[in-house]
Chains A and B, each alone.
Chain A
Amino acid sequence: MKELVTVKYLKKYFSTPKGMLHAVDDVSFGIERGKTLGVVGESGCGKSTLGRVLLNLLEPTSGEVWFEGENVAAAKGKRLWELHQDMQMIFQDPYSSLNPRMSISETIAEPLQIYSVYESVRELDERVDELMDIVGLARRLYNVYPHELDGGRRQRVGIARALALNPKFIVCDEPVSALDVSIQAQIINLMQDLQEQNHLTYLFITHDLSVVRHIADDVLVMYLGQIVEQCAVEDLFLNQYHPYTKALLSAIALPRVGEQKKRIALKGEIASPINPAPGCRFAPRCMYSVEQCTVKQPQLREVAPGHFVACDFAEEIS
């Protein structure tokens, strides 16, 4: 049980006109080498911010991120640059994450050039060709610019770029959401193959719970900057303890006619991440909330072996 990445008390706050926005608020977890940790949660709950802060692309407000014995959160300048060779990110938005003035081949070659991986142009070109093959981009697209590509092909460019340096750890921020289901399946198979061959470790952010179930070993459920439930992926589908997780799983749209689940609709006002009120952040929308919930912040605790939940009434409502 060797963790490649260990995150401790990580926080990222943004200052906004209305006050401090708690995007990631005291999050701790670990990912074992060769495993995939899935991250799910409401849109805007801090998943992408968590991914960026993990790699120190955004400077954390406080906390530690240990990677192979080194605190990435404290790394700076050249050392951070070196670390990024081993830690890469596939970005959520295939539109704005590619430089519009660089052709596809230039985009994929860029990290290889920045890190001077190859001495000869021939080797560099060969690697770019190889990467384009791996992610299924036709050679015709070599000199094409991002605006000429559809969403799916753009996302493949992002994946090829992230794979270029043979990293050990990749934060995958919605890497397949923009793709159709067949290409999704291809890319997921590809990512799993690469993981097996190279012992890659992934933090995999997605909204698609069937994708999480397929690819992740463990899963974190986040709500407004905090972890509300954490367990092995199989356990999550067997038994959810947190009321938010229950609502989340009940809202899955099944690809079958007339077989929609009874959705637990979340009512009430959504709490703001700006200067959040004390107590449980989900309380305003929780159908089980009692006075205690609005006063005292529930701590993450183990309710079943390996299954952690931040709700003081988890057992009663389960």
Chain B
Amino acid sequence: MNNATPLLHVKNLHVRYTTDEGTVHAVNGVDLVMKKGETLGLVGETGAGKTTTALSILRLIPDPPGEITSGEILFDGHDLVPYSAMKMRKVRGNHISMIFQDPMTALNPVLTIGDQISEVIRLHDRLSRSEAYGKATRMLELVGIPADRMGEYPHQFSGGMKQRVVIAIALVCNPLLLIADEPTTALDVTIQAQVLELMQNLRTELGTSMMLITHDLGVVAKICDTVAIMYAGEIVEYGTLQEVYNNTRHPYTKGLFGSIPKIDVRERRLKPIPGLMPDPTHLPQGCSFHPRCPFCTDQCRHKKPENVLLYGDHFAKCYYAEDGLQ
């Protein structure tokens, strides 16, 4: 493996879903670079195309109705888009793991929790049945579930407990890249902190890179190195954590920060971004955020802005990114 090539380089990715109600333009020209060992936070509106982007990297877009229409996904320098199903299965088994947003898609309802975790361990590490079971028990305890629950079935677990089982399963594979789709949304903050630490340890010990999809800006602040903000299928702002949080340039990103309830004061009303998310079958002309943007001008309505490069790698897709918005 060459250290100069980024671990992941997504170039101009387009993904759409063809449905009876029209064509959903889910991902519209995403560019992303992840270095080895880096943790990237992918944040964005519900329906912005975060899960679709992640599934594309794993080539797990349901086809039909979904389809990667163009773009490259370079993983350690090799484009995954043309890979055969068999080759892709190897990549997924050995190099890229995903924690799915919906834990039930990854869990088998008729197998006990213990059997499911040990099964994965056995496939991966070629251990004996009892060794694998022992390791599975330790993994379960690591995510905060007592060992006497190994024999239960998924439906007997709470939402957050299922999520933790899925995390345990993803971690036993020691992947190069871990894509975690909302891994901690169903977890309380103490368990969340514990799970995030577990993931960080994985990174320091094994150099695992992680793409963390979340809308929790607190979690991002805690563990991410870089942040990508997604809106209507595009990355509208990208940069280091420090840059995106303290030198925010895209009005959508500003709106996100503005809508979080404050922990230290109680406000009477929250301030969401005005307007509704765009209809992905009929995206607006020009900048897709313009109908909701307080700074919108004529040119925003007609022509899509390009990436404006700011400090370092920091960029924002906004005509006024350089001036800074007041």
Contacts and interface: CB of A to CB of B under 8 A. Distances in A.
B256 A207 contact: no
Contacts of B215: 179-181, 184
A42 B279 CA distance: 37
A95 B262 CA distance: 29
Contacts of B21: 140-141, 143-144
A210 B262 contact: yes
A213 B263 CA distance: 7
Contacts of A185: 259-261, 270-272
B161 interface: yes
A43 B263 contact: no
B152 interface: yes
B189 A255 contact: no
B19 interface: yes
A248 B263 contact: no
A214 B158 contact: no
Contact of B221 (A151, A186, A260): A260
B47 interface: yes
Nearest to A253: B218
B45 to A, nearest CB: 5
A141 B21 CA distance: 8
Contacts of B261: 185, 188, 208, 210-211, 213-214
A27 B282 CA distance: 50
B156 interface: yes
B276 interface: yes
A95 B245 contact: no
B298 interface: no
A252 interface: yes
Interface string A246-271: 01100111111101100101100111
Interface string B51-63: 1000000000000
A16 B270 contact: no
Contacts of A178: 46, 182, 185
Interface in B173-227: 182, 185-194, 215-222
Interface string A189-233: 100100000000000000111110110000000000000000000
Which of B65, B149, B220, B262 is most buried by chain A, counting CB atoms within 10 A of its CB? Answer: B149
Given A214-B270, A252-B218, A256-B221, A183 B262 contact: no
B17 interface: yes
Interface stretch (B3-11, B84-92, B140-148): B140-148
B260 A253 contact: no
A272 B164 CA distance: 16
A153 interface: yes
Nearest to B264: A237
A311 interface: no
Contacts of B277: 183
B125 to A, nearest CB: 25
B273 interface: yes
Contacts of B156: 14, 16
A219 B257 CA distance: 26
Given A185-B271, A255-B221, A260-B221, A248 B146 contact: no
Contacts of A30: none
B121 to A, nearest CB: 22
Bin the interface of chain B by size. Answer: 35 or more
Given A18-B148, A207-B187, A44 B158 contact: yes
B260 A210 contact: yes
B279 A140 contact: yes
B102 A182 contact: no
B260 A43 contact: no
Given A140-B279, A257-B221, A252 B263 contact: yes
Interface string A147-160: 01111110000000
A116 interface: no
B144 A270 contact: yes
Interface in A63-114: 92-93, 95-96
A138 interface: yes
A191 B269 CA distance: 11
A6 interface: no
A269 to B, nearest CB: 7
A24 to B, nearest CB: 12
Given A183-B272, A253-B218, A153 B188 contact: no
A186 B45 CA distance: 12
Nearest to B230: A180
A62 interface: no
Interface in A35-72: 40-44, 48-49
A192 B159 contact: no
A56 B18 CA distance: 42
A180 B159 contact: no
A4 B278 CA distance: 40
A166 interface: no
B37 interface: no
Interface of B: 17, 19-22, 43-48, 51, 65, 101-102, 104, 141, 144-146, 148-149, 151-152, 156-161, 163-164, 182, 185-194, 215-222, 241-242, 245-246, 255-257, 259-263, 266-267, 269-273, 276-277, 279, 281
25 contacts: A16-B152, A43-B159, A43-B160, A43-B163, A43-B187, A92-B186, A96-B102, A143-B20, A143-B21, A148-B17, A150-B51, A153-B47, A180-B48, A189-B272, A207-B185, A210-B260, A253-B192, A253-B193, A253-B218, A263-B193, A269-B141, A270-B144, A270-B145, A271-B146, A272-B149
Closest 3 A/B residue pairs (Cβ)? A152-B46, A43-B160, A253-B218
